[in-house]
Amino acid sequence: MATDRVPDHLKPNLAPLSLYVPEPKFRPGDAVDFTQVPIPPAGKARRPDPADAADTFIDLAFDLVRVLDDEGQAVGPWNPRLSPDTLRAMLRSMALVRAFDERMFRAQRQGKTSFYMKCTGEEAVSVAAAHALDYEDMCFPSYRQQGLLIARGWSMVDMMNQIYSNTADRLQGKQLPIMYSVKEAGFFSISGNLTTQYPQAVGWAMASAAKGDTRIAATWCGDGSTAEGDFHSACTFASVYRAPVIFNVVNNQWAISSFSGFAGAESTTFAARAVGYGIAGLRVDGNDALAVYAATLWAAERARTNQGPTLIEHFTYRAEGHSTSDDPGQYRSAGEPTAWPLGDPIKRLKDHLIALGEWDEERHAAQDKELAEQVKAAQKQAETNGVLGHGLHQPLDTLFDGVFEEMPWHLREQQAQMIAEETASGRPWARKA
């Protein structure tokens, strides 16, 4: 029967099928030319009323909301008109994130811990969002949003204790470094399994709505992670229940060695995913802190007024390796990070403040120095609690804590067995006080 579908007289004219497999534009050794990447001018994208129906601004899912122009001016309807103090606070947080990353990356290289992940070039995405959200709003991050914690003023020493799995680690050495969990700062426990946080954020938001609360949820995942089924489940649930949630897709264009074309970016934008689900979608210059701030504030207003979810694609670039286990020189051109046309988010915000007459290069350099010292001091303090590379710091019997609320018989037995082993080994480890 199927053969009837193509009339016989047409068959000889059909070329054989061929399988399309995406390929990034540049590989190691290639000269980089990003002129093909469409970058609309700052200030051009329209700003709908946050109460507008999602299907009335579908164009914004294919546009690029930009506020900071090439001269460092904030322009157009999305300009959030922030006070110089707020701008300086954001700049400081972003610079602090970078200083923290530098230091912890080096600590891993020095053998002080097993793993680290930087967010270099993506600092605006999390820092500006943290400034636009209320402190009470709940964040469901991926592993690259350390900026949320830093911008929320969370203790760097506490973060480092986790990175070192040391005696003061709030997670008792149980988690891989950087997989923080800080309920007090509205920061959900990070999972190693990609995109699981997406439907969880929707559930939290649905619960908040069901309880008549005022708090909303926000979640983040990478471009590559949008391929996971959890992403799509989250969008469906959020759409159905109009959940007060903000979906952030951090499109840094790489997922380890796979460029964003393997997540569908050759065919459409990530913001366009929203259109199919009937939810609001915005595509934003992720290296423009003011655009990220404005989009987040706009989405938060929609969520807070029962207009439902918004998906924000943050168009950015992963300026460094995926993690300490990765060497990007093996799969992408070394010229990409510097050629990236949307620049460095820290420099762009700095230039804006300077253009406003509210900052200067000397103050910036002094601040960088001060922040480096601050991180160094935090590191010194954290290291008084030990570093992973110098042995095991967790009391041995904490291994069984937290599997269940109460320990069943079989775990109690195994715990006793472990203590007996420790004695038999002749190398006693620390015990819980």
Partner 1 sequence: MSETTESSVMPAADAEPSTRMNMIQAINSAMDVMMGRDPDVIVMGEDVGYFGGVFRATAGLQSKYGKTRVFDTPISECGIIGVAVGMGAYGLRPVPEIQFADYIYPALDQLVSEAARLRYRSAGEFTAPITVRSPFGGGIFGGQTHSQSPEGIFTHISGVKTVIPSTPYDAKGLLIAAIEDNDPTIFFEPKRIYNGPFDGHWDKPTQNWSQHPAGEVPTGYYKIELGKAKVVRPGEALTVLVYGTMVHVALAVMEEAGVDAEVIDLRTLVPLDIETIEASVKKTGRCMIVHEATRTSGFGAELSALVQERCFYHLEAPIERVTGFDTPYPHSLEWAYFPGPVRIGEALKKIMKDA
Active-site residue numbers? 318, 322, 331
- Of the candidate residues 36, 193, 267, 306, the single one contacting ligand TPP (CB under 6 A): 193
Q: How far is the CB of 157 from partner 1 (least distance, A)?
A: 18
Residue for token pair 């935090």: 378
Q: Where in 211-240 is the site for ligand TPP (CB under 6 A)? A: 221-225
Q: How far is the CB of 19 from partner 1 (least distance, A)?
A: 5
* Residues 223, 224, 228: CA angle, nearest 5 degrees: 110
HEC readout, the chain = CHHHCCCCCCHHHCCCCCCCCCCCCCCCCCCCCCCCCCCCCCCCCCCCCCCCCHHHCHHHHCCCECCECCCCCECCCCCCCCCHHHHHHHHHHHHHHHHHHHHHHHHHHCCCCCCCCCCCCCHHHHHHHHHHCCCCCEEECCCCCHHHHHHCCCCHHHHHHHHHCCCCCCCCCCCCCCCCCEHHHCECCCCCCCCCHHHHHHHHHHHHHHCCCCCCEEEEEECHHHHCHHHHHHHHHHHHHCCCEEEEEEECCEECCEEHHHHCCCCCCCCCHHHHHCCEEEEEECCCHHHHHHHHHHHHHHHHCCCCCEEEEEECCCCCCCCCCCCHHHCCCCCHHHHCCCCCHHHHHHHHHHHCCCCCHHHHHHHHHHHHHHHHHHHHHHHCCCCHHHCCCCCHHHHHCCCCCCCCHHHHHHHHHHHHHHHHHCCCCCCCC
Tell me the residue number closest to ligand TPP, measured at CB.
222
Residue 255 binding Mg ion, by CB under 5 A: yes
Which residues sit opposite 182 in a β-bridge?
187
Among ligand TPP, partner 1, Mg ion, none, what binds residue 281 when CB lies within 5 to 8 Å by partner kind? none
Among ligand TPP, partner 1, Mg ion, none, what binds residue 230 when CB lies within 5 to 8 Å by partner kind? partner 1
Among partner 1, ligand TPP, Mg ion, none, what binds residue 144 when CB lies within 5 to 8 Å by partner kind? ligand TPP
Residue for token pair 């006793």: 416
Q: How far is the CB of 433 from ligand TPP (least distance, A)?
A: 35
Query: Could you give the CA distance from residue 290 to residue 348 in angstroms, rounded to a whole number?
Result: 10
Which listed range, 97-105, 333-341, 343-351, 389-397, lies at the site for partner 1 (CB under 8 A)? 389-397
Residue 414 binding partner 1, by CB under 8 A: yes
Which listed range, 63-71, 209-217, 249-257, 382-390, lies at the site for ligand TPP (CB under 6 A)? 249-257
Q: Where in 191-210 is the site for partner 1 (CB under 8 A)? A: 191-194
Which listed range, 70-78, 190-198, 347-355, 369-377, lies at the site for partner 1 (CB under 8 A)? 190-198
Residue 398 binding partner 1, by CB under 8 A: yes
Number of residues this chain uses to bind partner 1 (CB under 8 A): 56
Question: Cα-atom radius of gyration of the chain, to the nearest Å?
Answer: 24
Per-residue contact track with partner 1, 219 to 238, x per CB under 8 A? -----xx-xxxx--------
Bridge-based pairing of strands 138-140 and 280-285 is: unpaired
Q: How far is the CB of 267 from ligand TPP (least distance, A)?
A: 17
Q: How far is the CB of 320 from ligand TPP (least distance, A)?
A: 11
Among partner 1, Mg ion, ligand TPP, none, what binds residue 1 when CB lies within 5 to 8 Å by partner kind? none
Number of residues this chain uses to bind Mg ion (CB under 5 A): 5
- Of the candidate residues 198, 254, 262, 293, the single one contacting ligand TPP (CB under 6 A): 254
Q: How far apart are the two ends of the chain, measured CA to CA in Å?
A: 76
Nearer to ligand TPP, 26 or 231 (CB): 231
Residue 256 binding ligand TPP, by CB under 6 A: yes
Nearer to ligand TPP, 42 or 150 (CB): 150
Nearer to ligand TPP, 320 or 422 (CB): 320
- Written as one letter, the residue type at 36 is Q
Q: Give residues in contact with ligand TPP (CB under 6 A).
A: 144, 192-194, 221-225, 250, 252, 254-256, 318, 322
Q: Give residues in contact with partner 1 (CB under 8 A).
A: 18-19, 21-23, 27, 114-115, 165, 169, 173-177, 179, 191-194, 224-225, 227-230, 255-258, 262-264, 325, 330-331, 388, 392-394, 396, 398-400, 403, 410-411, 414, 417-418, 420-422, 424-425, 429
